[in-house]
């Protein structure tokens, strides 16, 4: 009994002591807040003013769980993320009781079902497509939906490894991003596209210029299929890549050929490319050194700005053309970008893609240049729209990040990603188990292709690339719809179709 009473008294004293510590802490914080001059809210409302910052920071996470409707959020809503999650887990993506999508909203694409679609035994299948047939080593791409550029550095070692193994499992290609070629890109044995950014990481001299010897070494890897010269990306056109210093490890610095201790900032453009003539020269140089297809990644702002490229190609001959053009929409993503560029510069993929496709087709280069669409295209309907608009391939980065487990925490630039995808902190990387995640990557890629083929079958064609602009209608402000080929007539060698 005496022991029990003593224990209770001890607990009571401990509780009182704890209250005293808390009260003292509150007083100290009150005085500090009242005296500081940086934050007016905390100065006028000591202690409680601190909750404003806390709640503001947590608000972006609480909204997606408790307040936002399925299709309200940006950059990706719950319906989009849930579709990817279900696909990546191998679960069925059937829904009940009707669509939650507002199909009367202006801009919504509606696919046109065939009156007499092919029988199930005549299901649409994706055919391989050759890129760069004139090259010494052309690439026969098996998949229509592939993984867009994500650098080792911007994303973690286990994330790159899971993407590589998943890409190999699904038969899709993986773009290295501008951060160079790492062992983790090679680990899965998948088809790779090496991206040459403006800093030329991995294939640069000490002064940042292109090194032909290093370029040849990269090209010697048998799974390295193509090279992509990045002129711009959708999230920050006119500005180079940004890798914060806290994300640069010894290994990343070695692979990129840079020093540690400072942010890695890519130039805003290739210093040796001042015009389209210089661009075609660079394409020819990389293609000659590597023997493999070479394309460019661009952000479109106006049709007129890119017309001279095709005039130069016509003057030099079709052999001088890039083997592919990746069109990135202004809504494209990245781990770190200035808000004005992310929000305000560059056309949406819905506008940019048709402009570039029409420029190519008017120049009579439909069979010479392949078009790759990129920019928030994560679900089968997005991909199907892009193919109808004229793309030959579609790539996605953030869709595959969702398949890895991304929760849209918006911490990509802070090295504190809670899912281990965009951090080099071992504590967080432990959550990303490669042996599990690579299977999710493969399942997601296969599910997108399967449902793209289902849409193609529904509109009555035998292969997704046979879909045309007439196969999709765009909802107008009054709720009616107009075929895309009436809104944006397509061209084939100058003839309207």
* % of the chain surpassing 90 pLDDT: 52
68 vs 234, higher pLDDT: 234
Q: Does residue 128 have a pLDDT over 50?
A: yes
pLDDT digit string (tens) for 235-263?
666 667 777 787 788 888 888 888 787 78
Q: How far apart are CA 72 and CA 161, in angstroms?
A: 33
∠ Cα 466 467 473 (to 5°):
165
Q: How far apart are CA 257 and CA 203, in angstroms?
A: 8
Kind and range of the H or E element at 357? helix 349-362
Mean pLDDT score across all residues of the chain: 86
- What are the sequence ranges of the domains in the chain? 15-67, 121-496
Interacting residues of 181 by C-beta distance below 8 A, sequence separation 6+: 192, 194, 202, 218, 221, 224, 255
Q: How far apart are CA 392 and CA 405, in angstroms?
A: 28
Interacting residues of 461 by C-beta distance below 8 A, sequence separation 6+: 124, 467, 471
pLDDT digit string (tens) for 65-115?
554 555 455 566 667 777 777 777 777 666 655 666 778 889 999 999 999
b (16+ CB within 10 A) / e for 91-118: eeeeeeeeeeeeeeeeebbebbeeeeee
Tokens of 330: 């202004």
pLDDT at 284: 97
If pLDDT is split at 50, 70 and 90, which confidence band does 58 have? low
Tokens of 367: 């069979």
The sign of the dihedral angle between the CA atoms of 239, 244, 245, 249 is negative
Name the residue among 175, 192, 229, 146 with its Cα closest to residue 395: 146
Residue 411 near residue 422 (C-beta atoms within 8 A): yes
pLDDT digit string (tens) for 409-455?
777 767 778 888 888 888 888 878 899 899 999 999 999 999 999 99
pLDDT at 1: 56
463 vs 36, higher pLDDT: 463
Dihedral Cα 44, 47, 48, 54, nearest 10 deg: 110
Q: How far apart are CA 483 and CA 462, in angstroms?
A: 20
- Strand 324-328 relative to strand 491-492, pairing: unpaired
First-to-last C-alpha distance (Å) of the chain: 95
pTM, whole model, 2 decimals? 0.83
Q: How far apart are CA 472 and CA 258, in angstroms?
A: 47
Class of CATH domain 121-496: alpha beta
Name the residue among 289, 258, 374, 279 with its Cα closest to residue 322: 279
- Strand 139-141 relative to strand 129-131, pairing: antiparallel
Q: Does residue 234 have a pLDDT over 60?
A: yes
pLDDT digit string (tens) for 329-371?
877 666 556 665 555 667 899 999 999 999 999 999 999 999 9
Residue 466 near residue 459 (C-beta atoms within 8 A): no
Q: How far apart are CA 210 and CA 290, in angstroms?
A: 13
> In a 3-state reduction of DSSP, which class is residue 326?
strand
What is the chain's alpha carbon radius of gyration, rounded to the nearest angstrom? 26
In three-state form (DSSP H/G/I as H, E/B as E, the rest C), the secondary structure along 386-440 is HHHHCCCEEEECHHHHHHHCCCCCCCCCCCCCCCCCCCCCHHHHCCCCHHHHHHH
Q: Does residue 493 have a pLDDT over 50?
A: no
Q: How far apart are CA 479 and CA 477, in angstroms?
A: 6
Name the residue among 343, 267, 276 with its Cα closest to residue 309: 276
pLDDT digit string (tens) for 259-295?
787 787 888 888 889 999 999 999 999 999 999 999 9
């Amino acid at each position: 009994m005496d022991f029990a009473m003593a224990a209770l008294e001890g607990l009571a004293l401990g509780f009182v002591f704890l209250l005293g510590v808390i009260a003292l802490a509150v007083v100290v914080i009150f005085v500090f807040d009242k005296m500081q001059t940086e934050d007016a809210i905390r100065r006028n409302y000591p202690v409680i003013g601190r909750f404003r910052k806390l709640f503001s920071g947590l608000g972006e996470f609480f909204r997606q769980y408790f307040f936002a409707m399925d299709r309200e959020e940006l950059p990706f809503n719950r319906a989009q993320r849930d579709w990817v999650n279900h696909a990546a887990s191998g679960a069925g993506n059937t829904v009940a009781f009707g669509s939650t999508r507002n199909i009367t909203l202006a801009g919504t694409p509606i696919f046109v079902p065939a009156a007499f679609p092919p029988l199930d035994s005549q299901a649409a299948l994706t055919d391989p497509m050759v890129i760069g047939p004139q090259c010494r080593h052309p690439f026969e791409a098996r998949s229509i939906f592939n993984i867009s550029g994500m650098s080792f550095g911007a994303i973690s070692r286990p994330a790159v490894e899971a993407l590589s193994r998943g890409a190999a499992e699904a038969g899709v290609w993986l773009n290295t991003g501008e951060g160079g070629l790492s062992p983790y890109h090679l680990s899965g044995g998948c088809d790779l596209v090496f991206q040459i950014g403006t800093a030329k990481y991995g294939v640069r001299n000490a002064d940042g210029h292109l090194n032909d010897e290093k370029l040849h070494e990269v090209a010697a890897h048998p799974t390295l299929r193509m090279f992509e010269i990045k002129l711009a990306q959708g999230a920050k056109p006119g500005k180079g890549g940004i890798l914060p210093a806290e994300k640069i490890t010894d290994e990343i610095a070695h692979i990129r050929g840079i020093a540690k201790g400072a942010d890695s900032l890519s130039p805003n453009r290739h210093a040796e490319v001042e015009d389209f003539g210089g661009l075609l020269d660079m394409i020819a140089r990389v293609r000659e050194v590597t023997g493999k297809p070479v394309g460019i990644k661009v952000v479109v702002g106006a049709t007129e700005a890119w017309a001279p490229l095709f005039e130069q190609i016509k003057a030099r001959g079709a052999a001088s053309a890039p083997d592919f053009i990746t069109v990135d929409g202004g809504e494209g993503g990245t781990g770190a970008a200035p808000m004005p560029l992310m929000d305000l510069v560059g056309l949406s993929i819905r506008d940019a893609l048709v402009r570039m496709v029409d420029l190519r087709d008017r120049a009579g280069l439909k069979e010479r240049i392949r078009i790759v669409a990129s920019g928030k295209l994560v679900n089968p309907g997005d991909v199907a729209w892009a193919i109808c608009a004229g793309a030959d391939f579609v790539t996605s980065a953030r869709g595959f990040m969702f398949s890895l487990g991304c929760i849209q925490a918006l911490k990509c630039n802070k090295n504190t990603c809670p899912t281990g995808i965009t951090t080099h902190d071992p504590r967080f990387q432990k959550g990303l188990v490669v042996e599990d995640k690579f299977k999710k990557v493969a399942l997601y890629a296969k599910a997108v292709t399967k449902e793209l083929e289902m849409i193609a079958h529904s509109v009555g064609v035998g292969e997704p690339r046979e879909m045309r602009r007439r196969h999709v209608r765009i909802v107008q402000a009054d709720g009616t719809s107009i075929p895309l080929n009436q809104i944006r007539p397509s061209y084939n060698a100058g003839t309207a179709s």
